[in-house]
Structure 1
């Protein structure tokens, strides 16, 4: 019962305040002037803010496979700033997500690395990242499902570049026509979903 009394008192105060505010032509004029001034201040600040320059898009990286050492070169700190991440032995160009995966980003620790174990265990620490091949054989089925889900998300959002090579595995020879065929099929899929 006390709550309903507080509720009625609160709504009574609000209705009294609004009637006082909008009941007088002078108050209405003052509210209008204040609103206009706030708008002018806000809009003038937006005009004076310099537009943030867009970084030029990097040309697409040619499809290729990577060793762990080669992958490490794409940590976003190199001259072109390209960032690659491996998930479940697939390498993705995540440069578009530089604010997340770049130096200083919340997931910058994954840049140029195999992030599979860290994503499976939801760990952002160095202990979840390996500098050599990690077969993930000690992960349980739920963690492996998580890795596959992350792989699907990266496949949908970023460009697949190639495989992360196991020790002794030879790289695949990708051809330019193969890349064109993949681009054509991707364009067709996008048109179907539109």
Structure 2
């Protein structure tokens, strides 16, 4: 049985200190050690970069003037994010929301682009990233759990995005909104809507 070679880090009698330094330099500067050091440095750089906010951030969406109007399904289709201003609107449970701030999700190329410029209610209710192809989807065939899901999505959209107006049923007339309207109008519209149901 052969024994393992002895370490040359400690000079033996008769060996010069310069020889020890040469051996240490050979160990430190070996190609494998240099490669491992480079990989570790790269990984540390990536960790520090992500921790201290030096990651790539998407440029902010330019502030667009607010839209306040009721729309038909055909009018809503125009706001899918492909027009020059990039505005994206989505309808949920009969209400239209301006989701332009979430364009990377709802705009062209986003994971939920199928909802951009469309009524997303059925897709959200059934957990399917598809929108309704109907001229107007009344959602009457959804079960109670699916309708509850749609209402929860509506509440989330109300918290996060600006309300534009109502999605009009065929033959329904739009409401003329004034520029001075406040949240009180939104609340009174919600109360009226609840009374109708």
- TM class by smaller structure: 0.5 to 0.7
* 2:96 aligns with one of 88, 91, 106: 91
Paired positions, count: 145
1:64 paired residue number: 69
Distance in 1, matches of 2:85 and 2:70, equals 19
Taking structure 1 as the reference length, what is the TM-score of the superposition? Answer: 0.65
SS in structure 2 at match of 1:129: coil
Contact 1:113/1:131, CA 8 A, preserved across alignment: no
2:114 paired residue number: 109
Query: Following superposition of structure 1 onto structure 2, how do residues 170-181 of structure 1 map, counting pairs within 5 Å?
Result: 170-178=173-181, 181=182
Distance in 2, matches of 1:53 and 1:138, equals 40
CA positional deviation for 1:131: 3.7
Structure 2 unaligned segments of length 5 or more: list them.
Answer: 1-23, 29-36, 187-197
For residues 63-85 of structure 1, give each alpha carbon's deviation from its aligned partner in whole angstroms, at most 9, with x where no partner exists: 11111111000000111100000
2:158 paired residue number: 155
Distance 1:56 1:96, change over 3 A: closer
1:74 paired residue number: 79
2:123 paired residue number: 118
For residues 139-161 of structure 1, give each alpha carbon's deviation from its aligned partner in whole angstroms, at most 9, with x where no partner exists: 11111001000000111111111
Distance 1:157 1:169, change over 3 A: same
Distance 1:52 1:119, change over 3 A: closer
Distance in 2, matches of 1:158 and 1:140, equals 26
Distance in 2, matches of 1:131 and 1:169, equals 16
Distance in 2, matches of 1:73 and 1:55, equals 22
2:145 paired residue number: 142
SS in structure 2 at match of 1:85: strand
Which structure's residues are more often helix, by fraction?
Answer: 1
Distance 1:114 1:50, change over 3 A: closer
Greater C-alpha Rg: 2
1:182 paired residue number: 183
SS in structure 1 at match of 2:75: helix
Distance in 2, matches of 1:141 and 1:98, equals 30
Distance in 1, matches of 2:90 and 2:133, equals 13
SS in structure 2 at match of 1:173: coil
Structure 1 unaligned segments of length 5 or more: list them.
Answer: 1-25, 186-194
